[in-house]
Amino acid sequence: MTEMILREAVTKALREALEDDRVFIMGEDIGAYGGAYAVTRGFLDEFGPERIMDTPISESVIVGAGVGSALAGLRPIVELMTINFSLVAIDQIVNHAAKLRYMSDGQFSVPLVIRTVTGGGGQLAATHSQSFENWYASVPGLKVAVPATPYDALGLFRAAMKDDNPILFAEHSLLYGMRGEVPDEWYEIPFGQADIKRKGNDVTIVAYSRMTHVALQAAAMLEEKGRQAEVIDLRTLRPWDKETVLESVRKTNRVVVVEETWKTGGFSGEIASTIQEEAFDDLDGPVARVGGLDVPAPYNGTLEAAAIPNSERIIKALSDNYGI
Amino acid sequence: MLKPANVPDLNKTDLLEYYRQMKLIREFERESERQYTRGNIKGFLHVYNGEEAIAVGAINSLRSDDYVVTHYRDHGQALVRGISSNEVMAELMGKATGCSKGKGGSMHMFSSELNFMGGYAIVGGQLTIAAGIGMAIQYRGDDQVVLCFFGDGAVNEGEFHEAMNLAAIWKLPVVFFCEHNLYGMGASSKETLVMWDSLHEMAAAYGMDRYEVDGNDVLAVSGLMQKVNVDVRAGAGPAFIVAKTYRLRGHSVADPADYRPDEEVKYWASQDPIPRFREWLAEEGIATVEDFEEIDASVEEEVVKAAEFAESSPWPEPGALYEGVYSDRPAEGIPA
């Protein structure tokens, strides 16, 4: 086992990926600058400009050219500096990356990994603090990963590189320094497999990305009140592990779904709806949802924090819906 | 017909083949309009009537290992590249025998075998994909060319700029080929595109080799493409070609094109590339009346057969709905 931070896990994953000659990395400031989040520091010297390509600030062509080079047989990793900027390229992601295999009836595939940085809480204000992975998780043809730990980041990225489908790999901006143990032996994590980060019998908390850690904080607070929470980290949103969630709900009968993005239209709605469709009789009350408040992210730190889910809001939601 | 500046090196067989291909596109498109009116083709149908010289002149200049990327008015390009008229017509009708087994339709013809990388329906989006294919060619140290078609309407999209700029700075082997038919759907480029009258000069902003050509002169298009291909293969970087042409029909079958002035429509009807080429072939003594009759008859027969093939082909199975959304096979070559 080796202890490392999440950034190091992604860097390690990228280095492994580059062992395949068909793989190259393309994005803004990934080379000479070392990466906006330092993930590719040193890569330009180590792998050269033919494989580590600094692009202009042109998100549409970053993804579009990623799609084109994938169609022509390469396995590109493109970086969108943050998921906020993915909106400039959303046409290429949704209309091309996700659909070319289907429209060509399987003649072409798009083995493209789109790495991006998601989430807020860094006082970067409204246009730099968003989380859109739920939007992309609605799109057939895409896969979406949202790792919360170094172990998960490395395992999922290895699976992503073996996958011939277009994948959005969303790393959280505040999790790059998260510490965790990573096995020295090879392992992979398949998409669509959630991880029970904490076992418990009294209540289920479903979360993903940074909210997994907020959920664990809430679980610690619940334990002081004599309640054992089961924390499920989805790890991927498309596909997502419905069975693990339902199995837990059938055991605990109480569930809250937590996510950082705006509650309205959030993926928690999809999860909550599925739970009530398929485990209705196992519920002691309505499925609780805690999401980002329906406001653009303010710059001021106190205001910003109030809009992002925290453990107190999770506790309150459980109290409101289940009286615990 | 004016004598083209660079008369390409073509023999009688090639020249008659060009005539045949242009006729095939024209007759095919007329049949597809009939089929649409009959209700056998649904959705959108954008026919290529009037622009045949571009597809024929440009695509025939390519090698089989070059790549073609195009817009949604793609039946002509698909046919010239080598997708059979049976498969294209069946695709238009949504049949299981279509080149995309009915999953793509009129705007999305594909053939991986022929490096026909797709018809694209988001205006301008395909230019970025062409740049990416160019990147792959360059990455491998190969010398193929990517021929990317788009209309003058696409020049206004932001992705035009992004793709042109990237191709220019990285010297990607892309021929950006603009079919300048003066309209983006119903909007006149005279009113929406600042550089409409000297469109090829837009490439000056990217330091690119740029050319303007009579898009209704199949030999001019062919000759120019042959020259440009040599340069692009040799590493000169991308090129920008503006071919002046016109849609003889509306934007789509649903469009009567009332927004176009009568004199303009009349003028361009007189520039129809097919009669122009036919007259030239006759004047040069390359083809006889019998040659034309034979070709015309064989083209008509081919189109009739394509319609029969498509009409009698089966529909996709219901299970086809979920096929091809995701690739199931894992990649090779990654350490286990």
Measured between CA atoms, how close is B98 to chain A, in angstroms?
10
What span, in angstroms and rounded, lies between the C-alpha atoms of A187 and A182?
A: 9
Residue % of chain B over a pLDDT of 90: 91
Bridge partners of residue A206, in order along the sequence = A232, A257
Domains in chain A: boundaries: 2-182, 195-322
Place of tokens 């907020």: A214
Say which of A60, A63, A103 has its CB closest to residue B100.
A103
Tell me the catalytic residues of A: 59, 128
- pLDDT interval class at B335 (50, 70, 90): very low
Measured between CA atoms, how close is A108 to chain B, in angstroms?
7
Answer yes or no: do A108 and B110 touch at CB < 8 A. yes
The residue of chain A nearest to residue B67, with distances taken between CA atoms, is A72
Domains along chain B with CATH numbers: 21-272+302-312 (3.40.50.970)
How many Cβ atoms from other residues are within 10 Å of residue B64's Cβ? 10
Say which of A61, A143, A164 has its CB closest to residue B128.
A61
CB-CB contact of B65 with B40 (8 Å): no
Counting one residue from chain A and one from chain B, the pairs whose CB atoms sit within 8 A come to 156
ipTM: 0.95
Tell me the average pLDDT across B270-295.
Answer: 97
**What residues have CB less than 8 Å from A137, skipping those under 6 apart?**
A144, A237, A238, A240, A267, A270
Place of tokens 């072939």: B281
Whether B143 has its CB under 8 Å from any CB of chain A: the answer is no
Residue type, A323: G
Judge whether residue B289 has pLDDT over 90.
yes
The full DSSP string for B66-115 is SEEEE-S--HHHHHHHT--HHHHHHHHTT-TTSTTTTSS-TT---BTTTT
Q: What beta strand segments (E) does chain B contain?
A: 67-70, 116-119, 146-151, 174-180, 183-184, 187-188, 209-214, 239-244
What span, in angstroms and rounded, lies between the C-alpha atoms of A192 and A73?
A: 26
Q: Which of B202, B197, B113 is nearest to B155 (CA)?
A: B202
How many Cβ atoms from other residues are within 10 Å of residue B241's Cβ? 26
What span, in angstroms and rounded, lies between the C-alpha atoms of B61 and B229?
A: 8
Q: How far apart are the first and last CA of chain A?
A: 39
Domain A2-182 bears CATH identifier 3.40.50.970: yes
Report the DSSP pairing between strands B183-184 and B187-188: antiparallel
pLDDT score, position B2: 45
What span, in angstroms and rounded, lies between the C-alpha atoms of B246 and A242?
A: 54
CB-CB contact of A26 with A76 (8 Å): yes
The residue of chain B nearest to residue A60, with distances taken between CA atoms, is B159
Q: Which of B176, B143, B172, B153 is nearest to B58 (CA)?
A: B176
pLDDT (tens, 9 = 90+) of chain A, 324 residues, equals: 999 999 999 999 999 999 999 999 999 999 999 999 999 999 999 999 999 999 999 999 999 999 999 999 999 999 999 999 999 999 999 999 999 999 999 999 999 999 999 999 999 999 999 999 999 999 999 999 999 999 999 999 999 999 999 999 999 999 999 999 999 999 999 999 999 999 999 999 999 999 999 999 999 999 999 999 999 999 999 999 999 999 999 999 999 999 999 999 999 999 999 999 999 999 999 999 999 999 999 999 999 999 999 999 999 999 999 998
What span, in angstroms and rounded, lies between the C-alpha atoms of B129 and B135?
A: 10
Whether B289 has its CB under 8 Å from any CB of chain A: the answer is no
Bridge partners of residue B239, in order along the sequence = B175, B209
pLDDT score, position B329: 55
Is-same-fold flag (A2-182; A195-322)? Answer: yes
Among B1-10, B140-149, B241-250, where is mean pLDDT lowest?
A: B1-10
Which two three-digit tokens encode residue B203? 């490439």
pLDDT score, position B331: 42
Q: What pLDDT digit, counting tens, does each position of B219-228 carry?
A: 999 999 999 9
What span, in angstroms and rounded, lies between the C-alpha atoms of B91 and B82?
A: 15
What span, in angstroms and rounded, lies between the C-alpha atoms of B102 and A63?
A: 27
- Maximum distance among all alpha carbons in chain B? 68
Q: How far apart are the first and last CA of chain B?
A: 63
What span, in angstroms and rounded, lies between the C-alpha atoms of A246 and A252?
A: 10
Determine which of A71, A109, A138, A191 to mutate to test the interface with B (most B C-beta atoms within 10 Å): A71
The residue of chain B nearest to residue A71, with distances taken between CA atoms, is B133
- pLDDT interval class at B10 (50, 70, 90): confident
Answer yes or no: do A101 and B323 touch at CB < 8 A. no
CB-CB contact of A192 with A163 (8 Å): no
Rg over alpha carbons for chain A, rounded to the nearest Å, is 20
Q: Which of B206, B200, B192, B106 is nearest to B156 (CA)?
A: B192
How many Cβ atoms from other residues are within 10 Å of residue B207's Cβ? 11
Whether B316 has its CB under 8 Å from any CB of chain A: the answer is no
Rg over alpha carbons for chain B, rounded to the nearest Å, is 20
Judge whether residue B334 has pLDDT over 80.
no
Q: How many residues does chain A have?
A: 324
Q: What beta strand segments (E) does B27-106 contain?
A: 67-70
- Phi then psi for B193, rounded to 5 degrees? -130, 110
DSSP state of A314: H
Contacts of A100 in chain B (CB under 8 A): 118
Q: What beta strand segments (E) does B52-188 contain?
A: 67-70, 116-119, 146-151, 174-180, 183-184, 187-188
What span, in angstroms and rounded, lies between the C-alpha atoms of B51 and B29?
A: 11
Q: Which of B301, B311, B310, B300 is nearest to B27 (CA)?
A: B300
Measured between CA atoms, how close is A165 to chain B, in angstroms?
6
- On the CB side of A27, CA atoms within 13 Å amount to 29
CB-CB contact of B68 with B59 (8 Å): yes
CB-CB contact of A188 with A207 (8 Å): no
Answer yes or no: do A106 and B132 touch at CB < 8 A. no
Residue % of chain B over a pLDDT of 70: 95
The residue of chain B nearest to residue A105, with distances taken between CA atoms, is B100
- pLDDT interval class at B328 (50, 70, 90): confident
pLDDT score, position B72: 98
Place of tokens 């950006």: B176
What does CATH list as the number for A195-322?
Answer: 3.40.50.920
pLDDT score, position B8: 67
Tell me the average pLDDT across B45-68.
Answer: 98
Determine which of A22, A47, A69, A95 to mutate to test the interface with B (most B C-beta atoms within 10 Å): A69
What span, in angstroms and rounded, lies between the C-alpha atoms of A69 and A272?
A: 38
Which two three-digit tokens encode residue A270? 């999809």
Judge whether residue B5 has pLDDT over 70.
no
Tell me the average pLDDT across B263-283.
Answer: 97
Global pTM reads: 0.96
What span, in angstroms and rounded, lies between the C-alpha atoms of B95 and B11?
A: 38
**What residues have CB less than 8 Å from A237, skipping those under 6 apart?**
A133, A134, A136, A137, A144, A145, A146, A208, A267
pLDDT score, position B49: 98
Contacts of A160 in chain B (CB under 8 A): none
Judge whether residue B37 has pLDDT over 50.
yes
